[in-house]
Structure 1
Amino acid sequence: MTSKPTALWVRLWPVYVILIGLGLALSQGWHEYLTLDSLSANAVSLDAMVRENFLIVFALYILVYAAATTFMVPGSALTIAGGFLFGLVLGTPATVIGATIGASILFFASKTSIGAVLRDVAGPFIEKMRAGFAENPVSYMFALRLIPIFPFAAVNIAPGLLGAKYSDYLLTTFFGIIPGTLAYSWIGAAVKGTLLEGGTPDISSLAANFVPAFLALGLVSLLPVAYKKFFPRKVPA
């Protein structure tokens, strides 16, 4: 006996959870703390808030990041905020989890009636990606995460439209975004460290904390070069 397909509104339950969490954050004004100016001005109070309400703040940050990814909002500043709030060790996985959840929602949405709308977003890039997917989907999706040659939103949407397996998509998304997330989270952690020490967020006063972060960002920027050298046939066209 063939089971009845699950209704679309049921399959989109993760979107509802994210919207509820996002609505709570907005109603409380917590989103205002995620700008660099606000982070700088409230470093001590934010540090205390995270320590006193860690699980709540951590979960809400993941929900906000997932929502931002789902609605295709650029996430560099938010990634830095994650490093600022939770430090490098915890900020990195929080961002990776949030981004992966948001990307997964877009993946599944692309396979529903919403896919027609999403195709308009990724349309200009889909044909450029098709050959790479046909050759080696896993390697190609991992390359797309490491090499920012296409917009992040398009890379989140295109695999579902091109028939990628979710297990492969999940694996390459989660691990592929770690290097970039690590670098940006390090910057946020460096800013927080300096502010809590009584410094100000300028290059000279942040030098000691920023050197490792800038080195990490530099290494990430070299990933495309290294990938092209070792995997010349699988680089995005």
Structure 2
Amino acid sequence: MLVLAAILLVWLSGDLLTLGELKRRQLELQAVIRAQPVAFTAGFLLMFGIVAAVMPGAAVLKVAAGALFGLWGGMAVALGGTLLGAVIGFLASRYLMRHWVEHRFERQAAVINRGLERDGIVYLLALRFNPLIPFFLINFAMGLTRMRATTFTLVSLVGLLPASFVYAIAGTELARIEQPSDILSARLIASLVLLSVMPIAGRWLSRRLGGRRGVADPLEQA
């Protein structure tokens, strides 16, 4: 499995992490999946998580999941791989790269911290729904907060569902995609951005109607 994952990492690294290369090898890789479904899926998930955690390319990998595994299988693989990448980034930021992340992303982390203090886990959910915010940045910044890893994982699972479904659909229509901008239309991007605002708006409204009394602090001590 690890050997297969390493091969896939090489295949998808650098200039090969493109829609053109994915389209060219789609039939070839689907044949490999039919021959070795468990090993290929496990390797793909591992590769997906590593790439999504440390470098751009998660969007193409979500499309690849839809193209190779079909709509529902692709959605499950895209969701699993993205969630794995999120957890890897979160834990790496908290335990391995904390000093570097604090120095490199100090301003962005401060903004996210203020949002968490104001809106709690709803803020993380809104960030996950928003396709315009870099995936790795959310993971790194959250690793610097007091949020528990289990809370981060569960909220991320819910927040990553819409994008995983959208990109899996795009993967099933791979033959029609010529460039990354074809994956998400302006209308779809606007809809997801609006969706990202709705949880915070709901929290604000509930506070206006019922006050802050009795609202638990979702930022639990690690």
- Please give the range of the TM-score, normalised by the shorter of the 2 chains: 0.7 to 0.9
Alignment of 1:65-144 (within 5 A): 65-144=48-127
| Counterpart Cα distance in 1 of 2:109 and 2:68 | 36
Instruction: Please say which of residues 223-232 and 85-94 is displaced more in the overlay.
Output: 223-232
| Counterpart Cα distance in 2 of 1:214 and 1:145 | 16
Q: By how many angstroms is 1:95 displaced?
A: 1.5
Q: TM-score w.r.t. structure 1 length?
A: 0.71
| Counterpart Cα distance in 2 of 1:132 and 1:164 | 13
Name the aligned partner's letter for residue 160 of structure 1: G
Where 2:94 maps in the other structure, the secondary structure is coil
Where 1:40 maps in the other structure, the secondary structure is helix
What residue is the counterpart of 2:194 in the other structure?
225
Alignment partner of 1:157 out of 127, 140, 144: 140
User: Closer, same or farther in 2 for the Cα pair 1:162/1:21, shift >3 Å?
Assistant: farther
Deviations 1:100-156 (A, max 9, x none): 112112212222242111223432211112222112321111011012453211101
What residue is the counterpart of 2:28 in the other structure?
45
Show structure 2 runs of 5+ residues with no match: 205-222
User: Closer, same or farther in 2 for the Cα pair 1:40/1:164, shift >3 Å?
Assistant: same
CA contact (8 A) 2:125 2:196 kept: no
CA contact (8 A) 1:125 1:150 kept: no
Name the aligned partner's letter for residue 58 of structure 2: G
User: Closer, same or farther in 2 for the Cα pair 1:229/1:33, shift >3 Å?
Assistant: closer
Q: By how many angstroms is 1:58 displaced?
A: 1.0
Q: Tell me how many residue pairs correspond in the alignment.
A: 200
What residue is the counterpart of 2:170 in the other structure?
187
Q: TM-score w.r.t. structure 2 length?
A: 0.75
CA contact (8 A) 1:132 1:140 kept: yes
| Counterpart Cα distance in 2 of 1:99 and 1:184 | 12
| Counterpart Cα distance in 2 of 1:230 and 1:102 | 24
Identity %: 22
| Counterpart Cα distance in 2 of 1:35 and 1:221 | 25
Q: CA RMSD in A?
A: 3.1
CA contact (8 A) 1:66 1:99 kept: yes
CA contact (8 A) 2:128 2:196 kept: no
CA contact (8 A) 2:125 2:156 kept: yes
Q: By how many angstroms is 1:234 displaced?
A: 6.0
CA contact (8 A) 1:76 1:184 kept: yes
Structure having greater relative contact order (Cα 8 Å, sep ≥ 6): 2
Where 2:105 maps in the other structure, the secondary structure is helix
CA contact (8 A) 2:129 2:193 kept: yes
CA contact (8 A) 1:66 1:102 kept: yes
